[in-house]
Amino acid sequence: KTTIFGAPTACSNGVPCSTAWINWFGFVTIPFLAMIAFMMITVFCIAAIYRGELADGEDEPMPWQPVAAIVGVVVIIFLVMGQMAGTPATQASEGFIVETVAESDRISPVEPQDIDPALIAEGKTLFEQACAACHGQDGEGVANLGVSLTDSEVVLAHEETDVLDMIREGRMPGDAENTSGGVMPASGGRPDLTDEQLLAIVAYLRSKPSEMQ
């Protein structure tokens, strides 16, 4: 997946959002490789059409120079585009640090404010649509896929803005803060959701009974 050529679409069908997609250097992705192959095939076809017929006895020259030039230009173009695309999503977020602490030193959950029931209902609906596939229908977690969110210290004990930043950033397998080993795509695979909608999901999770003390 890549955002170089436009906003990514939401994962709703087919391969789960948790799949570890090819993403080398932040821009070499499956669509990128497919487009390179398409461009090369197109160039070779056009070259073959305009090359003309060889005379009798004429040896066919090896077209390595134009091929090398074309490949070089394509590589340079996409290296530049990759640099312009920004920081790869595989960089770890600096927002949180995983530490082992005594139970008595755990961060206390954020005290719930006057939560609008309509906001909770909206968050529940959005959670079931966008998050339940990986984190369970009630947020209890799915083995080897998504961690439980009903007792997540990150969700329950941090400021809403920090939680929102974490969701937008996503979690890669090599992330020190990733406790499941799976992939959480940026924005949970739903970049179409607004900040307000994601915060509604957070409000819904915080409204649920929790084992955190």
Residues 6+ positions from 14 with CB-CB distance below 8 Å: none
pLDDT in tens, 97-141: 444 444 444 444 445 555 688 989 998 999 888 888 888 888 888
Per-residue pLDDT at 35: 80
pLDDT at 213 over 60: no
List domains and CATH numbers for the chain. Answer: 28-84 (no CATH), 103-207 (1.10.760.10)
Average pLDDT in the chain: 70
Per-residue pLDDT at 114: 59
Residues 6+ positions from 133 with CB-CB distance below 8 Å: 16, 17
User: What mean pLDDT comes out for the span 6-29?
Assistant: 55
> How far apart are alpha carbons 135 and 189 in whole angstroms?
13
pLDDT at 91 over 60: no
User: What mean pLDDT comes out for the span 21-38?
Assistant: 71
> Global pTM?
0.45
Query: Comparing 52-56, 177-181, 194-198, which segment has the lowest mean pLDDT?
Result: 52-56
Exposed/middle/buried for residue 84 (C-beta within 10 Å: 0-12, 13-18, 19+)? exposed
Per-residue pLDDT at 108: 47
**By percentage, how much of the chain surpasses pLDDT 90?**
3
